Amino acid sequence: MRADLAASYGEERLPRYTSYPTAPHFSPEIGAGAYARWLAELPAAASASLYLHVPFCREMCWYCGCHTQIVRRDGLIAAYLRTLRSEIAQVSETIGRRIKVEHIHFGGGTPTIMAPEAFAELMAAMRQSFFVLPSAEIAVEIDPRTLTSDMVEAMRLSGVNRASLGVQSFDPVVQRAINRVQSFEQTASVVDMLQHAGIKGINFDLIYGLPHQTVASCLDTVRRSLELGPDRFSVFGYAHVPAFKKHQRMINEAVLPDGLARHDQACAIANALKEAGYVQIGLDHFARPGDSMAVAFEQRTLRRNFQGYTTDQGEVLLGFGASAIGHLPQGYVQNEVQIGAYAQSIAAGHLATAKGYGLTDDDRLRADIIERIMCEFSADLGDICARHGAEAGAMLKSASRLKPLISDGVVKLDGARIAVAKDSRFLVRSVAAAFDAHLDPAKQLHSRAV
């Protein structure tokens, strides 16, 4: 990475743009009443994706940025799942029909912390309230340290066809520094169980920029991961925000890699995966050629949502559980973050919406531009603006942050088409931020741009 670009952009705190506007701009002005109206207004032909948040873990990983809490008693989990099933029925009743579902994603936390029979009951509740298509992708995030064979069987019987395994790093020094000790053998055993159960879609999540991490340790993790043959990788830069996530204070900042080291690690991982035959997709995903995500990238139909890059083409994402975020044509909604407040709302017969955001025409225009930049490293402003009844020239004029990026060679402008230079794609978030009308860097708690 050029030193001048590192100095200019590397330390910026910027969103990952899994939505636009981003969650810090959600407001209590959008509450349960607005969400109920939006649900009732969904077109008859609409289909949806479902996200279910299970905010429990057995122990805290110190790098974690998720809304989760540590539980030892399974009774708390069972009570939460009863509330989750009630919310599912409540949302379906508000829509007024069994809407079609094409994608289901279980996140957390550790979704597989629940009992196998509870998972089966939850899937049955979703199938009762929604029309889950036979072709639906059903994905579950997994902590390989705690997955049991009984849960794998419950997943198989429930139609799960994709599993995302948290790996992060196989370096024992790094693992101890982040309080997540997970052997290669544990991970290999889980991959074997899943594949024997017919769950063939396997994703690995890796992280760079962790304490004590080096290029050598990153490459060793990639090498060992490749032995297990996942068809997708997600590779994220660690976001150190101890003011927002207090458990991150357990990480010694003195042993965190700087911006240049983080960039070297990201490039080393990317190059190793590409040499192994994986296609680089957007900022941080990799997939085998022929995988549906690789095909979507080639056909320019790739999308971006709160789970990152996705093949999901729908405009409706229904979020269930404490802190879950949903996206409808009218805007975004987020449930109560605290489990107690969430449960109280559902028990009282109310939707648990705590805040949200109603989209304006300008937001929709900028969201389209930002999504294309994040997915394709380019955007045809003339085409996008025309579809929204806007002028490309006016949009370019409003993007004042774009000028230095062009001057520095990060962005190439050809008429109304912008493209991120191939050697500067690691700064794609900086390019997307040029079109973010809500961005206030002084108030952001995001990860570094590099």
Q: What is the pLDDT of residues 349-377, one digit of tens each?
A: 999 999 999 999 999 999 999 999 999 99
Of 246, 307, 248, the residue nearest 282 (C-alpha):
307
Contact 48, 130 (CB under 8 A): yes
Half-sphere CA count of 417, side-chain side, radius 13 A: 8
How far apart (Å, rounded) are the C-alpha atoms in residues 192 and 230?
A: 11
Q: Could you say which of 3.40.50.720, 3.40.50.300, 3.80.30.20, 3.40.50.12780 is the CATH number of the domain covering 3-325?
A: 3.80.30.20
Q: What is the pLDDT of residue 450?
A: 55
Contact 23, 334 (CB under 8 A): yes
Give whole-number Cα distances, 370 to 45, 373, 383, 444, in Å. 27, 5, 14, 18
For 296-309, b where at least 16 C-beta lie within 10 A, e where not — what string?
A: bbeeeebebbbbbb
- Judging by DSSP bridges, how do beta strands 232-237 and 285-287 pair with one another? antiparallel
Q: What is the pLDDT of residue 9?
A: 81
Q: What is the CA radius of gyration of the chain?
A: 21
- The residues of the chain scoring below 70 in pLDDT are 1-3, 7, 10, 441-450
Half-sphere CA count of 231, side-chain side, radius 13 A: 15
Of 212, 251, 219, the residue nearest 235 (C-alpha):
219
Full-model pTM: 0.94
Task: Establish whether the linkage from the previous residue to 257 is cis, with ω within 30° of 0.
Answer: no
Q: How many residues does the chain have?
A: 450
For 179-197, b where at least 16 C-beta lie within 10 A, e where not — what string?
A: ebebeeeebeebbebbeeb
Half-sphere CA count of 425, side-chain side, radius 13 A: 16
- Judging by DSSP bridges, how do beta strands 162-168 and 201-208 pair with one another? parallel
Q: What is the pLDDT of residue 38?
A: 98
CA torsion sign for 187, 189, 191, 194 is: negative
Q: Which residues contact 81 (CB under 8 A, 6 or more apart)?
A: 114, 118, 121, 122
**Tokens linked to 79:** 């009570």
Q: Which residues contact 354 (CB under 8 A, 6 or more apart)?
A: 28, 31, 334, 335, 336, 337, 341
**Tokens linked to 269:** 């991982």
